[in-house]
Amino acid sequence: MRSENHATTATTPVGEAVHAAAGRIRQFIGASARPRVALILGSGLGDYAERLTDARSLAYDEIGFPASGVIGHKGRLVYGRAPGSSLEVLAMQGRVHAYEGHSLQTVVLPVRALVRAGCEIILLTNAAGAIAPGLLPGQLVLLRDHLNLLGDSPLRGHNDASLGARFPDMTSVYDRGLRALAERVASASKLLLPSGVYAGCLGPQYETPAEIRMLRSLGADLVGMSTVPEAIAARHMGAKVLGISCVTNLAAGISAQPLSHDEVTETAAHARADFIRLLDGILSEIAAEQRVAEGGTDHV
């Protein structure tokens, strides 16, 4: 299957596209596989998938996912076990964005397929610009809420009841229990992990200083061009969501330096060590909770 033939929801009903992509994922990972966690790895963060034990990968076009044309997004789905545990994980190395010309229904197709394939927890990561005072490039920030400023919703149009309710509640998009778990991991690892509100904007142009002042007045701490549609779609399907931003630059008007995508990917690479420690710890804690829930032990 070629990338141009991906199952866009413009020509295929959402439920059918999700079912088809989930079926290809299940075929790839095998009937006995039980992936519980999906990682969506943003700009410059995709290499984390290489840490999975017994990892194997599948190109997005073989699943029916749209391929990203953005540098730092490899376009592969990786299946393996979390480092040091038997927790099964599916990791997306990159995502597509609305600014690439995709509808939001197409943007969230991969996340929906991962949930339909069995993932109960969606861990969304992204590169973001800092708006709040005190946030610096290289810092990791836990998302506690978001602002959807994309001018659209992935739920617009006909609602497929097999995916979720027509009017889903978004009071706690980012799961409180998972946020508390991440904060415990950060504290134990001596990592600074402030929380913040993420503003999702359309892009692809970076924001103007006036727009950043507006976002700050609305309560935003961070700004980016992803994550929000995926979080909405995952919650629509009943999955738990955890969001982590890597601050890669100061937003326009806060720093005199012009913004560039090179800076985004370079800063994300510099934050790699902290990112690995945090994700390793989070996955380890999820694995431990799973062992307790199943009344068994983890076999590495």
Q: What phi-psi label fits residue 78: left (phi over 0), alpha (psi between -120 and 50 degrees) or beta?
A: beta
In a domain? residue 250:
yes
Catalytic-residue membership of 183: no
Q: List % helix, strand, coil for the chain (3-state, nearest 5).
A: 35, 20, 40
Of the residues 57, 68, 126, 226, which is catalytic? 226
Residue for token pair 């738990």: 240
Query: Does residue 66 have a cis peptide bond before it, meaning omega lies within 30 degrees of 0?
Result: no
In a domain? residue 132:
yes
Catalytic-residue membership of 249: yes
Among 2-6, 8-12, 50-54, name the one with the lowest average pLDDT: 2-6
Catalytic-residue membership of 99: yes
Among 72-81, 144-153, 187-196, name the one with the lowest average pLDDT: 72-81
Please state the φ and ψ torsions of residue 24, each to the nearest 5 degrees. -70, -35
Looking at residue 235, which CATH number applies to its domain? 3.40.50.1580
- The whole-number pLDDT of residue 73 equals 57
Catalytic-residue membership of 162: no
Between the CA atoms of 279, 192, 135 and 48, what dihedral angle is there, to the nearest 10 degrees?
Answer: -20
Number of domains in the chain: 1
Catalytic-residue membership of 261: yes
**For 83-119, how does the pLDDT look when each residue is reduced to its tens digit (9 = 90+)?**
999 999 999 998 999 999 999 999 999 999 999 999 9
In a domain? residue 247:
yes
- The whole-number pLDDT of residue 108 equals 97
- The whole-number pLDDT of residue 149 equals 98
Q: What is the pTM of this model?
A: 0.91
Q: What percent of the chain has pLDDT over 90?
A: 75
Of the residues 6, 43, 237, 239, which is catalytic? 43
Comparison of pLDDT for 160 and 68, the residue scoring more:
160
Catalytic-residue membership of 217: no
- The whole-number pLDDT of residue 2 equals 40
Of the residues 6, 19, 97, 236, which is catalytic? 97
In a domain? residue 298:
no
Catalytic-residue membership of 86: no
Catalytic-residue membership of 100: yes
In a domain? residue 240:
yes
In a domain? residue 300:
no
**For 7-38, how does the pLDDT look when each residue is reduced to its tens digit (9 = 90+)?**
455 567 899 999 999 999 999 999 999 999 99
Residue for token pair 């599948």: 58
Average pLDDT over residues 73-81: 88
- The whole-number pLDDT of residue 42 equals 82
Of the residues 127, 231, 239, 287, which is catalytic? 127
- The whole-number pLDDT of residue 10 equals 55
Average pLDDT over residues 269-297: 86
In a domain? residue 237:
yes
In a domain? residue 299:
no
Average pLDDT over residues 213-234: 98
- The whole-number pLDDT of residue 237 equals 98
Of the residues 182, 225, 237, 239, which is catalytic? 225
Res. 227: pLDDT tops 70: yes
Of the residues 3, 55, 100, 183, which is catalytic? 100
Of the residues 99, 103, 120, 263, which is catalytic? 99
Which range marks the domain in which residue 206 is found?
Answer: 3-293
